[in-house]
């Protein structure tokens, strides 16, 4: 995750200003942590799906890649 992606998630989480602590700060950081975790889980899920798709000839790998991606859509 890049610094710009993290900053954008902080902006989505609430009234973020680079020079001041947002008010109220606890709900802001809870929302921010959820956004960061969500993004990290999505990227990890996709990396696992790609790992299952070894060369496209293994039907089990393709099946499990589909199952992993479907979990992210539920």
pLDDT digit string (tens) for 18-65?
556 656 777 877 888 888 899 999 999 999 999 998 766 788 889 999
pLDDT at residue number 4: 78
Evaluate whether residue 47 is within a structural domain.
yes
**Number of folded domains in the chain?**
1
pLDDT at 74 over 90: no
* Domain extent for 8: 3-14+24-73
Evaluate whether residue 56 is within a structural domain.
yes
| Crossing angle of helices 25-52 and 3-13, rounded to 10° | 130
Contact indicator for 49, 11 with CB cutoff of 8 Å? no
Evaluate whether residue 28 is within a structural domain.
yes
pLDDT at residue number 22: 59
pLDDT at 16 over 60: no
Q: Which residues of 26-60 are buried (b: 16+ CB within 10 A; e: fewer)?
A: eebeebbeebbeeeeeeeeeeeebeebeeeeeeee
Evaluate whether residue 19 is within a structural domain.
no
């Amino acid at each position: 995750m890049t610094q710009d992606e993290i900053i954008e998630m902080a902006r989505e989480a609430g009234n973020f200003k680079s020079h001041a602590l947002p008010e109220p700060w606890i709900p802001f950081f809870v929302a921010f942590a959820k956004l960061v975790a969500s993004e990290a889980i999505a990227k990890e899920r996709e990396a696992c799906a790609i790992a299952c798709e070894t060369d496209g000839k293994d039907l089990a790998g393709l099946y499990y890649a589909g199952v992993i991606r479907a979990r992210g859509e539920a």
